[in-house]
Amino acid sequence: MCSSSCLAIDTLGADTAACELVHGALDFAEQSENTRLVFIGTEHELRPLRGSRHKTVITDEWISQSDSLFKALRGKTRPSMRIGLELMRGGSADALVSTGNTGALMSLSRSLLSMLPGIRRPAVIKEFQGKELRFWMLDLGANLAREAKSLLDNALLGTAYAEGAGGISKPRVALLNIGAESQKGPKTVQMAASLMEQDDRVHFVGFVEADRIFDGLADVVVTDGFSGNVALKAMEGAVEMARFLLRKEADRSLAATARPSVERLLGAYNPQAYNGASFVGLDGVVVKSHGDTDRIGFAQAVQQAEHEVASQVPARVRGSFRDLACGVR
């Protein structure tokens, strides 16, 4: 294990150019002297890093966003994300940050890293700032199948994360649905709600609609990977549209003295400033970045990984999850 935080940086498999990811990671590292980076990528892209305090692992193999899961797992010998996970498993890295194929990253993480006991698959979890309180939402894309038991697993994982990483005692859990009424929603969601209501480990507060998840009704919002990813992309699109309209109006009618305030507001609502989501359920830190992130966004994802390592988030979640499994609250 590195004496300071060691983060494996997968520079391949993104829609973004590898050089942008390298620069983003270096931007963060310049502000964090105790963090060392291990870049995984091609000789051409990583050659400028020779002689720096950071290490490189050279590969010409990666998993693209369009690769089938079969091709990703069977047709690639040592793709970049696998190398990063193997570095974690061997103790040479404390975390992996990747922009690569989410399904492949989930499957490889499951096979190469330990899972929390009783959890079948990791979920993608992300922290959001609500109108007054922060909250966590999962799953945001790791598991597309909607099963009642998987939704209960997500509720337990979200509870453990909010308790262990967020310090929230007995976090309130809501289930994303098309209506708040008890009879609304598909059968699977109804069954999941019943499981959560009967499980004393989950402080279930009912359904929440997508337009109210920022209102502070719950500390953890649970959904399946398909609906969660759609909701996330819709949020990001709405924010981008709001930023576009605000900038357009500012350019058209605001006085020059007001523009610095508008620029600060635009920066605060830049989705790239909140890039990066964690795989919860693993006994380790894996942060998934958007495949089309920019330099600013990737720096944010690397910062999140470093924060989780420094804060010992996996150990805290593991302890909270163990308490939940034993019925200790």
Do 257 and 293 reside in the same domain of the chain? no
* Number of domains comprising the chain: 2
In a domain, 141, yes or no: yes
Q: Mean pLDDT over residues 295-319, rounded?
A: 90
pLDDT value at residue 1: 43
- Report the distance separating Cα 326 and Cα 329, nearest Å: 9
Residue 128 sits in the same domain as residue 258? yes
Q: What is the C-alpha separation between 150 and 161, in angstroms, rounded?
A: 16
Whichever domain contains 204, its CATH number is 3.40.718.10
> Considering the domain boundaries, does residue 219 fall inside one?
yes
Per the listing, tokens 């980076």 go with 37
Q: How far is CA 40 from the centre of its chain?
A: 20
The answer to whether residues 53 and 27 belong to one domain is yes
pTM recorded for the entire structure: 0.87
Task: Give every CB contact of residue 99 below 8 A, 6+ residues apart in sequence.
Answer: 10, 13, 14, 15, 16, 21, 288, 289, 290, 291, 293, 298
> 216 with 254, same domain?
yes
Write out pLDDT tens, residues 223-267: 999 999 999 889 888 887 887 887 777 776 665 555 666 666 666
Number of C-beta neighbours around residue 324 at 10 A: 21
Q: Is residue 318 domain-resident?
A: no
Claim to verify: residue 130 and residue 262 sit in the same structural domain: yes
Query: Do 130 and 222 lie in a common domain?
Result: yes
Quick one: 218 and 288 in the same domain?
no
Phi and psi at 120, nearest 5°, equal: -85, -35
Asked if residue 250 and residue 139 are part of one domain, the reply reads yes
pLDDT of residue 82: 95
Beta-bridge mates of residue 172 = 203
State whether 43 and 182 are in the same domain. no
| Predicted pLDDT at 178 | 93
pLDDT in tens, 56-110: 999 999 988 888 877 777 777 889 999 999 999 999 999 999 999 888 999 899 9
In a domain, 329, yes or no: no
The answer to whether residue 150 is domain-embedded is: yes
Give the domain range for residue 47.
Answer: 5-120+281-311
Looking at every residue in the chain, the average pLDDT score rounds to: 87
